[in-house]
């Protein structure tokens, strides 16, 4: 529906890749071979879906991906995000990564530098307004690029991503035929699969996903999303912590925030260490493992604080962030204040209104 004639497109796209020197995947092997990708894996496969979101098809696809327990990356068209922000939000909240596929799916070879920048900017704005945290990845419509578009993409801070296995789902075939096309193009090393969740034939393509996953896993392939460089892998978000002081007899609260969506479950440990406040005296020993399910970017840690009969100034304890899984630490510690119960801020309510008895 949204692609030009295939016989002309694919050779031209490959020539452009070679001429422009883009670091993107292609059937001709633009991605460097990588025989050893993960221990025990024949290779890695990143599923990608273009042209959505579509409320019915995308929602059905999310269920299929969850049942198959595989990640994916969705390249969204800005107009469709703006028209159905709820469908777009469901993708990220289900734990999947989102990326830019232009505003109106126009061939970027026909657009000026300024038009490409505006298209990318408008799409990102729509995604942000929809509540998404999009990656800095983009896919040019039809896989088509020219020098002005390439410069605009680079200057806008985006990484262009192509594919190594084309399902041709938009063109022809039933679900089994689409699955066979994909499986026939998988190779040891890194693979990026192109499918669509926003074209007329997308329901047929979605029906092929389970077979692709089942057979590929049986052949030893592992599934992943796309990392910051647009290659099969996962982004590594940075986690930061902000503490809200606690009062004796209550609790302190620490808010942990990821700077971007990870596309997978991540975790870290939070442990309390003595400062001017003592672990074991001012608060019980505290250590917890905080998990961020895919699609979640914040978490709160509540730390119980003991009380005593001694009036003392505000004390501090140190929380250590340790053992990150799939995360980078933006800081290793955060200070938490403990306010003495007797010194806690109190609110004095006003008394009854004073009525003047003076004569008028």
For residues 188-199, give the mean pLDDT.
97
Helix or strand (DSSP H, E) at 253: strand 251-258
* Token couple for 96: 């999947």
CA angle 201, 203, 205 (to 5 degrees): 75
Contact 233, 226 (CB under 8 A): yes
Assess contact for 88 and 123: CB atoms under 8 A: no
Residues labelled as active-site residues: 50, 196
pLDDT at 348: 47
Asked whether the predicted pLDDT for residue 81 surpasses 80, the reply is yes
Contact 99, 140 (CB under 8 A): no
**Res 37: pLDDT:** 53
DSSP H or E segment with residue 328? strand 328-329
Of residues 246 and 295, which shows the higher confidence score?
Answer: 295
Averaged pLDDT score across all residues of the chain: 86
Q: How confident is the model at residue 247 (pLDDT cuts 50, 70, 90)?
A: confident
Given a cut of 60, is residue 17 above it in pLDDT?
no
Neighbouring C-beta atoms of residue 262, cutoff 10 Å: 24
Dig out the tokens for 90 from the structure: 């469901």
Q: What percent of the chain has pLDDT over 70?
A: 81
Strand order in the sheet with 328-329: 298-304, 251-258, 238-244, 328-329
Q: Which of 247, 248, 239, 295 is nearest to 269 (CA)?
A: 239
Q: In the predicted model, is pLDDT for residue 52 greater than 80?
A: yes
Distance CA 213, CA 223 (A): 8
- Which residues are CB-neighbours of 298 under 8 A, at least 6 positions away? 255, 256, 257, 258
Measured distance CA(88)–CA(340) in Å, rounded: 47
Tabulate helix, strand, coil % of the chain (nearest 5): 30, 30, 40
Give the lowest-confidence range in 79-83, 96-100, 120-124, 309-313: 309-313
The pLDDT value recorded for residue 341 is: 67
Using alpha carbons, select from 158, 190, 167, 197 the residue that is nearest to residue 46: 190
């Amino acid at each position: 529906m949204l692609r030009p004639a295939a016989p002309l497109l694919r050779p031209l796209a490959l020539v452009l890749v070679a001429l422009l020197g883009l670091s993107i995947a292609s059937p001709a092997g633009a991605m460097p071979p990588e025989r050893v990708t993960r221990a025990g894996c024949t290779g890695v496969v990143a599923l990608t879906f273009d042209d959505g979101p579509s409320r019915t098809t995308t929602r059905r696809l999310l269920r299929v991906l969850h049942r198959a327990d595989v990640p994916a990356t969705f390249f969204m068209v800005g107009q469709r995000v703006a028209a159905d922000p709820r469908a777009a939000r469901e993708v990220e909240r289900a734990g999947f990564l989102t990326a830019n596929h232009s505003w109106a799916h126009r061939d970027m070879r026909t657009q000026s530098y300024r038009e490409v920048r505006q298209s990318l900017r408008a799409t990102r704005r729509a995604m942000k307004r929809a509540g998404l945290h999009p990656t800095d990845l983009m896919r040019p419509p039809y896989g088509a690029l020219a020098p002005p578009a390439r410069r605009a993409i680079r200057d806008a801070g985006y990484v262009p991503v192509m594919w190594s296995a084309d399902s041709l789902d938009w063109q022809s075939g039933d679900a089994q035929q689409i699955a066979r096309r994909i499986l026939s193009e998988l190779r040891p090393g890194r693979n990026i699969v192109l499918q669509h969740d926003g074209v007329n034939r997308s329901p047929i393509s979605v029906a092929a996903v389970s077979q692709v996953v089942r057979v590929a896993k049986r052949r030893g392939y592992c599934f992943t999303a796309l990392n910051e460089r647009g290659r099969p892998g996962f982004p590594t978000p940075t986690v930061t912590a902000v503490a809200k002081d606690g009062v004796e007899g209550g609790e302190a609260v620490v808010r942990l925030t990821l700077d971007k969506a990870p596309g997978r479950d991540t975790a870290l440990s939070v442990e309390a260490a003595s400062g001017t406040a003592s672990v074991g005296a001012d608060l019980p020993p505290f250590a917890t493992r905080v998990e961020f399910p895919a699609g979640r970017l914040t978490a709160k840690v509540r730390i119980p604080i003991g009380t005593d009969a001694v009036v003392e100034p505000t004390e501090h304890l140190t929380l250590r962030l340790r053992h990150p899984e799939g995360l980078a630490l933006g800081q290793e510690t955060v200070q938490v204040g403990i306010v003495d119960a007797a010194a806690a801020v109190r609110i004095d309510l006003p008394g009854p209104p004073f009525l003047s008895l003076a004569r008028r």
